[in-house]
Structure 1
């Protein structure tokens, strides 16, 4: 097996309830067997003041204009830009969602793509973006689907299409079949990370 420099920034993308969080945690467990230092994070990070506002919005407690929502999500990522830059030097960062999610959701909400991209310019770029490819029709029955504002089948169908296109534009990406068993998904992703140059 090829070994690489310790630090890498890996982003896991996918539609709502596609299994991103579960996959990231299990990949962490897998990589720790190889004595790798792993740091997991997810966006939005709901513990900050900005994150708390986003949480209220996502849980349908407050209403906000789409432009405001986009900028808040972007600001939430910027809150952790320095931490990402530092930790990626000697750790593997596994990140559940990042700027491609922000871009894709905002495009679906009717915002201009170039305008959306501007607020994220300068953020640390991932070494690898992984897309868990599963259709919206297959996640609607999963526990908790529908609890947050964007969790409806037709909306997620649009997000799926835009997000997949944006992932394919990434410099380094991996598409993983979300219909595989969780064990297969985790092993495939973990081995890809271990073999990154």
Structure 2
């Protein structure tokens, strides 16, 4: 029954997952499932404002909850300690780029210590609506040094998956314009010097996207085509999550294999 369930899952995933299902004796998979009970997952949703990541984050949370997963969501700039300071400084429009960067990093570090790591240790699935890459991309777009910005977040706890929603600046701008005017800092007016928030946003978001694309290569983001329909994006994300779940399970199962069987599996995997 377990092998049948795994095989049905593999039909919606990758050839490598099918190899895992067909190769591993069920007893080792069962051991792996027991060993993974307390292992959490960290999933990050990244992309420029208007890319659709929040919609997809909500859909995945709902779907994972329906699968019986205990899901925790952490949002950018939401630390109870730092958020009030950021909100007040934003209202005053008194934040210089370096100050903004340091406060955003402090907010993240507080949430990492009090929300993210404890949830992972309890075996929960953590979904981050924006992660450190948001801070770095915005910092660089504001003219700050990339290495300096990255050091604010080091050591970086890398997510199991980073979903990056790739969309054009024009798409982002049009989606935002449908419902609201971009805020002062969202539009980058603190650094562009432009009085029109939409013109400023267009100039600023292009720099943010450029840095996201560089980070995508460095940290191996999983690209999601944000121009696709909401349902197509969700289906893609679910398939990618299933692949992650299967690969983690079978990596754990491999640790239980006797050396001769492990060597045989590696030979089959490398030739596949």
Question: Cα distance, 1:145 vs. partner?
Answer: 4.2
Instruction: State the distance in 2 between where 1:43 and 1:71 align.
Output: 14
Contact 1:139 1:145 in 2 (8 A): no
Deviation of 1:154 after TM superposition, in Å, equals 1.2
TM-aligned CA distance change 1:54 to 1:20, over 3 Å: farther
Higher-helix-fraction structure: 2
Matched residue, 2:40? 7
- Which structure has more strand as a fraction of its residues? 1
- Residues 77 and 107, structure 2, Cα contact 8 Å, conserved in 1: yes
Paired residue for 1:78, among 86, 109, 118? 109
Q: TM-score, normalised by structure 2?
A: 0.66
Could you tell me how far apart the structure 2 residues matched to 1:145 and 1:10 are? 29
Deviations along 1:20-50, whole A, 9 cap, x unmatched?
Answer: 22111111111222211111111111x5231
Contact 2:73 2:126 in 1 (8 A): yes
**In structure 2, how many angstroms separate the alpha carbons of the residues matched to 1:165 and 1:123?**
17
Larger radius of gyration: 2
Q: Give unpaired runs (5+ residues) of structure 1.
A: none
Alpha-carbon distance change, 145 to 188 in structure 1, aligned in 2, over 3 angstroms:
farther
The Cα offsets for residues 58-106 of structure 1, whole Å up to 9 and x where unpaired, read as 5x53221111110100000011112211212311111111111101111
- The one of 178, 202, 209 aligned to 1:153: 202
Asked if residue 62 in structure 1 is aligned to residue 98 in structure 2, the reply is no
Change in 2 beyond 3 A, CA 1:69/1:131: same
Inter-partner Cα distance in structure 1 for 2:152 and 2:73: 24
Report the counterpart of residue 94 of structure 1 in structure 2: 127
Report Cα offsets for 1:109-140 as digits up to 9, x if no partner. Answer: 11111111111002432111110001111121
Q: State the TM-score, normalizing by the size of structure 1.
A: 0.90
CA distance in 2, matches of 1:32, 1:122: 30
Whole-angstrom distance in 2 between the partners of 1:23 and 1:91: 19
| Residue pair 1:17, 1:145 contacting (<8 A) in 2 also | no
Which of 170, 186, 189 lines up with 2:234 in the alignment?
186
**Greater mean deviation of Cα atoms: 97-106 or 33-42:** 33-42
Separation (CA, whole Å) in 2 of partners of 1:148 and 1:42: 20
The 2-side partners of 1:13 and 1:109 are apart by 18
Q: CA separation in 1, counterparts of 2:156 and 2:212? A: 18
Tell me if the contact between 1:10 and 1:126 (Cα under 8 Å) persists in the aligned partners.
yes
Bigger RCO (CA 8 Å, 6+ sep):
1
2:222 corresponding residue in structure 1: 174
Task: Show the counterpart of 1:119.
Answer: 152
* Distance change (3 Å), C-alpha of 1:57 and 1:166: farther
2:214 is aligned with 1:165: yes
In structure 2, runs of 5+ residues without a counterpart are: 1-8, 11-28, 188-200, 249-272
